[in-house]
Structure 1
Amino acid sequence: MDILLKVKIFCTLAIVLGLICAKHVACSRHRQYHPGRKMSSGDNNNEDLVTSFPGQPHADFQHFAGYVTVNETNGRALFYWFYEAITNPQEKPLVLWLNGGPGCSSVGYGATQEIGPFLVDSDGQGLKYNNFSWNREANVLFVESPVGVGFSYSNTTSDYEHLGDDLTANDAYNFLHKWFLKFPSYRTRTFYIAGESYAGKYVPELAELIVDRNMEPSLHIDLKGILLGNPETSDAEDWMGIVDYAWSHAVISDETHREIRESCDFKSSNPWINQTCCDAVDELLAQYHKIDMYSLYTPVCFATAARSNDQSTKSVMSYKRTLKMMPRIMGGFDPCLDDYATAFYNRPDVQKALHASDGHSLKNWSICNYKIFNNWEDSKPSVIPIYKKLISAGLRIWVYSGDTDGRVPVLSTRYSLSTLNLRITKPWRPWYHEKEVSGWFQEYEGLTFATFRGAGHDVPSFKPSGSLAFFSSFLLGQSPPETK
């Protein structure tokens, strides 16, 4: 106790002297947050304010968590976690972050493993401070969507049987307007939507709803742009990118690649009626199953190998012939991050602090709901037509790809974006971060595409500092840094 007391005293002095306590990991993990700043003018959210989050490092900003009911009749409610910007939250934009799956948690991935200020520690029991959290540049809102994901729920059982893109977009749209009732000072704030993976469908679909309904002044949301990481975009091009990337990165043989190229018509309504195609794609998936498809060059998590083996094989074999999607296997630089998050969010004190439960009647939280994935009813084969609509509406669209991801590889995104036939305004060139080439980018009329060198599917997990710099450029509407 004496050592801990000395650490706390040191941290307090460091703050007084203007030092940055977050750099001192030993102290930051032991200091609890005590809200000292008033809420934004006009907002009344004392019931959602998080005041004693277990293991939370010191923070000079407020965060809120709780539920927003999106359908009163059926009792559908989405769980959110909102972080105010670290400095000047009243002046900075609002960004909504969505993860995909479909069926995976934005709290478990985006908030806890990637861009949130508090990352789950390697023992699944504590938190560590993220020095590259995106709430350094914006107010960031995470939502577990649709119902059935994470803590989000419905009181009507049949809701879980009819989940798909359209319902998800409409619920997310209703969520925003009802969330603004809780936080009215953000209603007219500059707004962006960001996400990754299957959120490559969610984000444009929600943006389209906003653009369409903004014609009614009372419903106006000041949406300025969307940011998409390793996004599922167009099924035919995505699949061909998966195949060509696996071959070009020596995951499959020349023979398997040739068989897929010759027998699979990914542009048809059902490419899986061809048995030769099915067998060849099964071979591709079997080879990827031996490594982490989401990060080709990092280790797998042996702690969950048996569980992943059983779950993933069944899902792939039963699903690729219907919706042309594959289940999430694992993402992030640390291959066991999913397990740490699961352990953390199933703690009674954590659920109570986040207002997800009373601390006694616990919710069974999982990072991905495979039942949602397997029962997904409505998936648009392509959101390229929506891209065209959003570009015409003047929205800023940035797309980025971690170039070591095999699930939605850089080739998939390049193939998909090429169908837009946009005029190039700035040709292919490197962009820099910390004096190193961080990736390459190209600008088009209405769209920017960039790569992250050496990053897997969840780019901020691999390149936290670089992704924050990239995010800052996006918000400013400036090209990524082009010089050392």
Structure 2
Amino acid sequence: MRNLSVFSFSLLMLLHFGEANNQADNLYSLIKSKRSLNNRPLPQIWPQLQATKDYSPSFIVAQDGFMQADKIGALPGQPDGVDFDQYGGYVTVDPQAGRALFYYFVESPQNSSTNPLVLWLNGGPGCSSFGYGAMSELGPFRVNTDGKTLFRNNYAWNNVANVIFLESPAGVGFSYSNTSSDYGRTGDKSSANDAYTFLVNWLERFPQYKNRDFYITGESYAGHYVPQLAYTILLNNENSNQTIIKLKGIAVRNAWIDDATNTKGLIDFLWTHALNSDETNKDFHMYCDFENDTSSSRCDTLIYKALFEMGDIDFYHIYAPICINPTLKNGPIGSVHEFDPCTDYYVESYLSIEEVQTALHAKPTNWSACTSKFNWTDSPTTILPIIKDLMESGTRVWIYSGDVDGRVPITSSRYSINSLNLPIQTVWHPWYINDEVGGYVVEYQGVTLATVRGAGHLAPSYQPERALLMISSFLQGILPPSSP
């Protein structure tokens, strides 16, 4: 975000909703840290720096025997009838620093030998792809209210792909570094380079996937992670002596990709969804300059007013209930059709169990969904130049949103894509599932913009069946069904 009033907005969000302990709050904490005009990174500095680097991976070793060692026999409390293989473990990305990234990998129950390979990255920065992505959204299991047992997610993405959940960067979830100073040097570039090193080593560990079609997906601040990793892969693929990764496409949901348009989209979302008054919205546009690096005390005052008008709601899903009682409790098996707003507490309890960590082949860890230990060293104001490079390379690019997320709303994504001034190939229209509108989609030249209707920031948590159809369409390279 490019003006001081919005940095104040981020700070107030943290005060209003509590300490930075989830991926959207971590995002706003990062934005607050970028308020210094002297330290703000230039929009295109990241790709410029990457283009000057030597892309020989710093660390690739033989991985013989590691795949078998990483295989998970069963997770404690998992339901009967599990019909797919699952793996968990570490891949070292820097032996000198002792830096290793934890992954959880689930193969498809059917067609695992031909289904594509998908990498999932959560945002923050600093939040767990395992705790959020795998255990709360698109993985094969969800955690029951007792915090000890699991139930099956029938709309898991491993129904259509073999999925890697990567806890990145080191310091997130079970991932770690034995060199604590690493955390003070973490940023976009180091995260992309470590994720790339993870991938080439992981493919040595699972060589049967070396020639498989590969896709990168994620949400929130993964609007940075995903395009940057894809860009890094394409540059490395140009080196004939390196592992060629068959990158086919990227899909990012509720993606933070451009500070300026995200700011405007957030303010407009508040008003268009009746979360603040006409007077406040009018004053926002009168006193807050979202295009230039200026602010005013009047603009800062409006932030307090907007928060008061919005009230105590879940800004991830503005129509969803909030967690009133996070106490663990025995009860009936959960349902993927009724997302529990206290799920974060169940997941943290489950992943903190010693037997669970042992089954995952994880180091004993005081696990938490997000960390605030990083001093994020680089975060460009926009990722749109990288996205344009990916489009021009022929990489499939989808930007999609749960349409009732207020943190990184669909309005922000629309403004970001519109700033590219792309020709429209298929006009905006509804897509359908089970005789109902599942969302909306417009296909531009080089990028597809879509929504999942009735979904929040964690779209598969709230609309698992619609989210599965969306990602299945993306993997097939087709638009979702345009008729019932």
Q: Deviations over 1:188-246 (max 9, x none)?
A: 21100000111111100111111111101323210000011111111110011110100
What's 2:173 paired with? Answer: 150
Contact 1:115 1:460 in 2 (8 A): yes
What's 1:244 paired with? Answer: 268
Structure 2: where are the runs of 5+ without partners?
Answer: 1-63, 328-337
Structure 1 distance, partners of 2:434, 2:365, is 43
Of 220, 225, 237, which aligns to 1:202? 225
Say yes or no: does 1:443 pair with 2:443.
Answer: yes
What's 2:314 paired with? Answer: 292
What's 1:189 paired with? Answer: 212
What's 1:235 paired with? Answer: 259
What's 2:297 paired with? Answer: 275
What's 2:399 paired with? Answer: 399
What's 2:283 paired with? Answer: 259
| 3-state DSSP of counterpart to 2:76 | coil
Q: Shift in Å at residue 43 of structure 1?
A: 7.5
Q: Shift in Å at residue 435 of structure 1?
A: 0.7
* Aligned 1:414-453 pairs, distance under 5 A: 414-453=414-453
Say yes or no: does 1:216 pair with 2:254.
Answer: no
Contact 2:249 2:397 in 1 (8 A): yes
| 3-state DSSP of counterpart to 1:173 | helix
| 3-state DSSP of counterpart to 1:411 | helix
Of 347, 365, 368, which aligns to 2:367? 365
Structure 1 distance, partners of 2:306, 2:123, is 23
Q: RMSD value over aligned CA atoms? A: 1.7
> When the two structures are superposed, what TM-score results if normalisation uses the length of structure 1?
0.82
What's 2:389 paired with? Answer: 389
Q: Shift in Å at residue 113 of structure 1?
A: 0.8
What's 1:334 paired with? Answer: 340
What's 1:74 paired with? Answer: 97
Structure 1: where are the runs of 5+ without partners?
Answer: 1-41, 306-331
- Residue type of the alignment partner of 1:399: I
What's 1:302 paired with? Answer: 324
Contact 1:345 1:351 in 2 (8 A): yes
- Residue type of the alignment partner of 1:199: A
Structure 2 distance, partners of 1:53, 1:46, is 16
Contact 1:439 1:452 in 2 (8 A): yes
Structure 1 distance, partners of 2:308, 2:175, is 33
* Aligned 1:73-222 pairs, distance under 5 A: 73-217=96-240, 218-222=242-246
Contact 2:277 2:309 in 1 (8 A): no
Contact 2:67 2:206 in 1 (8 A): yes
Contact 1:235 1:266 in 2 (8 A): no
Worse overlay, 138-147 or 208-217 = 208-217
What's 2:18 paired with? Answer: none
What's 1:49 paired with? Answer: 71
Structure 2 distance, partners of 1:103, 1:289, is 27
Structure 2 distance, partners of 1:183, 1:285, is 49
| 3-state DSSP of counterpart to 1:406 | coil
Structure 2 distance, partners of 1:288, 1:109, is 26
- Residue type of the alignment partner of 1:382: T
Structure 2 distance, partners of 1:286, 1:219, is 53
Structure 2 distance, partners of 1:195, 1:245, is 22
Q: Shift in Å at residue 288 of structure 1?
A: 4.5
Worse overlay, 286-295 or 193-202 = 286-295
What's 2:12 paired with? Answer: none
What's 1:60 paired with? Answer: 83
Q: Shift in Å at residue 63 of structure 1?
A: 0.7
| 3-state DSSP of counterpart to 2:238 | coil
Q: Shift in Å at residue 44 of structure 1?
A: 5.3
Question: Identity over the aligned pairs, expressed in percent?
Answer: 49
Contact 1:298 1:333 in 2 (8 A): no
Structure 2 distance, partners of 1:463, 1:453, is 8
